[in-house]
Amino acid sequence: MTDLLSGIRVLDLTNVLAGPYCAYQLALLGADVIKVEAPPGGDLARQLGASPELNKAGMGASFLAQNAGKRSVVLDLKQEADRERFLNLVATADALVENFRPGVMDRLGLGHEKLKKVRPSLVYCAISGFGQTGPMRGNPAYDQIIQGLSGIMSITGTPETAPLRVGYPVADTLGGLVGAFAIAAALVRQKTSGEGAFLDVSMLECTLSALGWPVSNYLTAGVQPQAMGNENMTAAPSGAFRTGEGLLNIAANKQEQFVILCGLIGRPELASDPRFAERETRKENRAALKPLIEDALAGAPAAVWEEKLNRAGVPAGRVLTIPQVLQERQVTERRMTTRFQEIPGMDKPLTVVRGGFMVDGAAPVPAGPPPRLGAHMDDVFASLPARGKGRARA
């Protein structure tokens, strides 16, 4: 069984990426995630993605990526009647996640203090760019803003090209993962003590936390991180190398791995060259070492070298495109994707990715496809009791 969160109800009031990705992780683990969307269009991600047709249908590719397994209801929280319906829903919930700017829920009369009176054990998770306090709390925050402020862009690219944005919304994704982790931890306390929690998740802080090594090198050693392209600052040879066909990442970080690498590429003398014989001298002379290794690798394609080096204990891997990695046996055999054949609003099957782990040898997969806007109004509200009359599952 992969439904580790079976019986848990989560209200997802979020938009676009960080919050929806957070709630998607919980849905993958069996939580009943109810997506509460605002009229008229719901989650903005419904209109975002590479397909204009899907965007027009309210099923944009960006929405499809992290909303499978959820149910959708539409409530206008600016209207008194819908606020009351929402509070009835809160009375049945274990957790709630929102990613509005700080203060928005309070102005709606639906902040944490209000909701915990309705549901004292509620785990309330607020994901924002900068957190609920501090001088930047009210600033709008998109992923690229956080990437720039966090220092990620300053160390991405080469010395000539940096600063560069990481090629996907890494700050949003980190915020979502941390939010899901925090909610799961708070649910453990909730189930043992009945106590709720207010979780204040800052995307900036999540990103800084994930920048462990660069931040630590500065804080503890006074070394300011620099952009190094595909090179690894901690070791050499460790980076991306040209081969006879394609790029190959090699991480010969240990001394014995470097010696084995030199033998496998037919250049055993490099291991005893004074410039490369020791870890620190290799780092100092990486610019001279790299072309020598690439000359030797030119005799075969990256795939051949990948198999040969890994078999000998030297970590190596081809540099793949997204389509290529999705076709890799390692990915397909572990069921990293799930396919839905019939999706309302779509004229073809839909494939989505799951989370990055398995449970007891099984892959957690979403219970259903991403929902059409408001598709579950009847399911959710038909048997919902008025507040104070007990909890019912829709």
pLDDT at 388: 56
Same domain? For 117 and 205 the reply is: yes
Same domain? For 63 and 206 the reply is: yes
User: Taking the model in full, what pTM does it have?
Assistant: 0.93
Same domain? For 202 and 254 the reply is: no
- 392/289 Cα distance (integer angstroms): 67
Within a domain: 230: no
Residue given tokens 């939010």 in the structure block: 179
Q: Return averaged pLDDT per consecutive 10 residues of the chain, 394 residues in all.
A: 92 97 97 97 96 93 96 97 96 97 96 97 98 96 96 96 97 98 98 97 98 94 94 94 98 96 97 96 96 98 98 98 96 94 85 94 94 95 70 40
pLDDT at 347: 83
- 159/282 Cα distance (integer angstroms): 19
Q: Which two tokens stand for residue 196?
A: 């709720």
Same domain? For 68 and 205 the reply is: yes
Within a domain: 113: yes
Nearest to 175 by CA among 195, 154, 145: 145
Same domain? For 201 and 256 the reply is: no
- Strand ranges for the chain from DSSP E: 9-12, 32-37, 71-74, 95-98, 123-128, 197-202, 238-242, 247-251, 316-318, 337-340, 350-353
Within a domain: 40: yes
Is residue 100 a contact partner of residue 172, using CB atoms and an 8 Å limit? no
Within a domain: 370: yes
Residue given tokens 């109810």 in the structure block: 34
Same domain? For 337 and 312 the reply is: no
Final residue belonging to a domain, choices 319, 339, 367: 319
Continuous segment of H or E residues that includes residue 143: helix 143-150
The CATH number of residue 287's host domain is 3.30.1540.10
Which range of residues forms the domain containing residue 137? 9-210+331-381
Within a domain: 344: yes
Same domain? For 141 and 23 the reply is: yes
pLDDT at 1: 67
For residue 298, the Cα-to-chain-centroid distance in whole angstroms is 36
Other beta carbons within 10 angstroms of residue 362's beta carbon come to: 10
In DSSP terms, 352 is beta-bridged to 338
**Which residues, including other chains, have CB under 8 Å from residue 82's CB and lie 6 or more apart?**
75, 76
Same domain? For 15 and 144 the reply is: yes
Rg (CA), the chain: 25
Within a domain: 87: yes
The CATH number of residue 157's host domain is 3.40.50.10540
- 365/337 Cα distance (integer angstroms): 8
Instruction: State how far the alpha carbon of 296 is from the alpha carbons of 236, 242, 257, 265, 267, in Å.
Output: 16, 10, 16, 6, 7
Same domain? For 289 and 198 the reply is: no
Task: Please state the domain count of the chain.
Answer: 2
Within a domain: 145: yes
Within a domain: 177: yes
Residues known to be catalytic:
172
Instruction: Specify the 3-state DSSP secondary structure of 107.
Output: helix
pLDDT at 218: 95
